Structure 1
Amino acid sequence: MPHSIKRIFTWIFWIFVLWAIFTSPNRAADLVLTIWEIILNGFNAIAVFFDRLLGG
Protein backbone atom coordinates (compact mmCIF):
# COMPACT_ATOMS: atom_id res chain seq x y z
CA MET A 1 0.00 0.00 0.00
CA PRO A 2 1.50 3.35 -0.94
CA HIS A 3 2.56 5.55 1.94
CA SER A 4 0.11 8.33 1.04
CA ILE A 5 -2.90 5.99 1.16
CA LYS A 6 -1.78 4.64 4.53
CA ARG A 7 -1.45 8.21 5.82
CA ILE A 8 -4.97 9.07 4.61
CA PHE A 9 -6.48 6.04 6.34
CA THR A 10 -4.58 6.87 9.51
CA TRP A 11 -5.99 10.41 9.50
CA ILE A 12 -9.51 9.08 8.84
CA PHE A 13 -9.14 6.64 11.74
CA TRP A 14 -8.03 9.35 14.20
CA ILE A 15 -10.74 11.76 13.04
CA PHE A 16 -13.30 9.00 13.64
CA VAL A 17 -11.86 8.29 17.10
CA LEU A 18 -12.04 11.96 18.07
CA TRP A 19 -15.57 12.24 16.67
CA ALA A 20 -16.66 9.19 18.67
CA ILE A 21 -15.15 10.61 21.87
CA PHE A 22 -16.71 14.05 21.42
CA THR A 23 -20.16 12.82 20.43
CA SER A 24 -20.46 9.97 22.92
CA PRO A 25 -17.73 9.93 25.56
CA ASN A 26 -19.43 7.32 27.75
CA ARG A 27 -19.79 4.81 24.93
CA ALA A 28 -16.24 5.49 23.76
CA ALA A 29 -14.92 4.83 27.28
CA ASP A 30 -16.97 1.63 27.51
CA LEU A 31 -15.53 0.48 24.20
CA VAL A 32 -11.96 1.14 25.32
CA LEU A 33 -12.57 -0.73 28.59
CA THR A 34 -14.08 -3.66 26.72
CA ILE A 35 -11.13 -3.82 24.32
CA TRP A 36 -8.71 -3.62 27.27
CA GLU A 37 -10.51 -6.50 29.02
CA ILE A 38 -10.34 -8.61 25.85
CA ILE A 39 -6.59 -7.99 25.58
CA LEU A 40 -6.01 -8.82 29.25
CA ASN A 41 -8.11 -11.98 29.01
CA GLY A 42 -6.11 -13.04 25.95
CA PHE A 43 -2.79 -12.58 27.75
CA ASN A 44 -4.21 -14.41 30.77
CA ALA A 45 -5.28 -17.33 28.59
CA ILE A 46 -1.82 -17.51 26.99
CA ALA A 47 -0.20 -17.46 30.43
CA VAL A 48 -2.44 -20.29 31.65
CA PHE A 49 -1.71 -22.28 28.50
CA PHE A 50 2.05 -22.05 28.88
CA ASP A 51 1.84 -22.65 32.63
CA ARG A 52 -0.04 -25.89 32.09
CA LEU A 53 2.08 -26.81 29.09
CA LEU A 54 5.23 -26.53 31.22
CA GLY A 55 3.62 -28.54 34.03
CA GLY A 56 2.98 -25.70 36.45
Structure 2
Amino acid sequence: MPAKAKTVLIWLVVIFVIFAIYNSPDRASEVVSAIWDVVVNAVAAFGEFLGGLLN
Protein backbone atom coordinates (compact mmCIF):
# COMPACT_ATOMS: atom_id res chain seq x y z
CA MET A 1 0.00 0.00 0.00
CA PRO A 2 1.45 3.41 -0.92
CA ALA A 3 2.51 5.61 1.99
CA LYS A 4 0.03 8.39 1.14
CA ALA A 5 -2.90 5.98 0.97
CA LYS A 6 -1.92 4.46 4.31
CA THR A 7 -1.68 7.92 5.90
CA VAL A 8 -5.08 8.93 4.54
CA LEU A 9 -6.62 5.67 5.74
CA ILE A 10 -5.19 6.13 9.24
CA TRP A 11 -6.54 9.69 9.41
CA LEU A 12 -9.99 8.53 8.27
CA VAL A 13 -10.05 5.88 11.00
CA VAL A 14 -8.94 8.43 13.64
CA ILE A 15 -11.60 10.91 12.52
CA PHE A 16 -14.26 8.18 12.57
CA VAL A 17 -13.28 7.11 16.10
CA ILE A 18 -13.42 10.70 17.36
CA PHE A 19 -16.80 11.17 15.66
CA ALA A 20 -18.17 7.95 17.18
CA ILE A 21 -16.98 8.90 20.67
CA TYR A 22 -18.44 12.39 20.34
CA ASN A 23 -21.82 11.16 19.11
CA SER A 24 -22.26 8.30 21.56
CA PRO A 25 -19.80 8.20 24.45
CA ASP A 26 -21.81 5.54 26.31
CA ARG A 27 -21.75 3.16 23.35
CA ALA A 28 -18.07 3.90 22.72
CA SER A 29 -17.24 2.98 26.30
CA GLU A 30 -19.18 -0.28 25.93
CA VAL A 31 -17.19 -1.13 22.79
CA VAL A 32 -13.87 -0.38 24.51
CA SER A 33 -14.94 -2.47 27.50
CA ALA A 34 -15.87 -5.39 25.24
CA ILE A 35 -12.55 -5.17 23.39
CA TRP A 36 -10.70 -5.06 26.73
CA ASP A 37 -12.55 -8.19 27.89
CA VAL A 38 -11.53 -10.02 24.72
CA VAL A 39 -7.88 -9.04 25.20
CA VAL A 40 -7.89 -10.06 28.87
CA ASN A 41 -9.52 -13.41 28.08
CA ALA A 42 -7.04 -14.06 25.27
CA VAL A 43 -4.08 -13.37 27.55
CA ALA A 44 -5.57 -15.58 30.28
CA ALA A 45 -6.16 -18.41 27.80
CA PHE A 46 -2.61 -18.10 26.48
CA GLY A 47 -1.28 -18.21 30.06
CA GLU A 48 -3.37 -21.29 30.75
CA PHE A 49 -2.02 -22.91 27.57
CA LEU A 50 1.58 -22.21 28.55
CA GLY A 51 0.87 -23.49 32.07
CA GLY A 52 -0.49 -26.69 30.56
CA LEU A 53 2.65 -27.11 28.48
CA LEU A 54 4.89 -26.77 31.53
CA ASN A 55 2.97 -29.28 33.66
Calculate the TM-score normalised by the size of structure 2.
0.98
What letter corresponds to residue 34 of structure 1 in structure 2?
Answer: A
Give RMSD over aligned pairs.
0.4
What is the total number of aligned residue pairs between the two structures?
55
What letter corresponds to residue 6 of structure 2 in structure 1?
Answer: K
Q: Deviations over 1:4-29 (max 9, x none)?
A: 00000000000000000000000000
> Residue in 1 aligned with 2:25?
25
What fraction of aligned residue pairs are identical, expressed as a percent?
38
Runs of 4+ more than 4 Å apart: none
Q: Flag structure 2 segments of 5+ consecutive residues without an equivalent.
A: none
1:10-49 equivalences under 5 Å are 10-49=10-49
Q: Flag structure 1 segments of 5+ consecutive residues without an equivalent.
A: none
Calculate the TM-score normalised by the size of structure 1.
0.96
Distance in 1, Cα, partners of 2:29 & 2:16: 14
